[in-house]
Amino acid sequence: MSSAGLVLAAFIGAIIARRRTRRAQRTIHSLQSLVVLPTTPIMLLGALLGAATANMFGFTLQLFAFGLMIAMALEQTLTDFCTHRLARGATMRAALVGGPLLALAAINIDETTRIATMFGAFTSTLVFFLVLSFVSKGGIGSGDIRLAPVLAMFLGWLSWQHVYIGLASGFILGGIWALALIVTGKASRSSRIAFGPFLCVGAVATLFAL
């Protein structure tokens, strides 16, 4: 993509990040949290991610689909980190819009096997998280059960390797954070820790790292 295109993508990414930050802020306030989100650094992050996504996919359907995934991940990270709650609407919109976009993208490049991989990644991840929630006796929340399969769906469009590494990264990052909180005395083994942000960070990082 040209330099002008990347600048435009960065600008759009910043605007989307600002809108998602405001939406997350409304959700946070509705849950009676007084946290105020820092808009400027989040917009800078959005600009960087927008340019990186455009550079990776160009002006394609994949750009819009994965841009949607990143926007959803940003909103959910902010919301869950502040409230330990995930917005159901944000996850469902990403699934209902991103799924068809990626299916059309697969058809457009004549690689329809990607659709089956997406569906397989979504289904297997959903089953895995349902079992994990049951075994952990609610340690995995319903928001995480909805979020993880949707992220896996997006990553599955790329490859099974993206799914494995993306989800594993989320568990590793979440485990490190939980251990740090326990060691510093800010949490105990029975404390509930927001897992959604680490799923989101793992998925987005994997998108650009592989």
Q: DSSP labels for 89-130?
A: HHHHHHHHHHHHHHHHHHHHTT-THHHHHHHHHHHHHHHHHH
The shares of helix, strand and coil residues in the chain, as percent rounded to the nearest 5, are 80, 0, 20
**Are 102 and 118 within 8 A, CB to CB?**
yes
pLDDT of residue 190: 66
pTM for this model (two decimals): 0.92
Helix (H) or strand (E) holding 198: helix 196-209
**Are 20 and 75 within 8 A, CB to CB?**
yes
Cα distances (angstroms) measured from residue 11 to each of 57, 65, 79, 123: 17, 18, 23, 35
Residue carrying structure tokens 């600008």: 11
pLDDT of residue 149: 97
**Burial track 128-164 (b if 16+ CB lie within 10 A, e otherwise):** bbeeebeeeeeebbebbbbbbbbbbbbbbbbeeebbe
Segments of the chain with pLDDT less than 50: none
pLDDT of residue 30: 84
Residues 6+ apart with CB under 8 A from 186: none
Residue carrying structure tokens 């040209």: 2
pLDDT of residue 31: 76
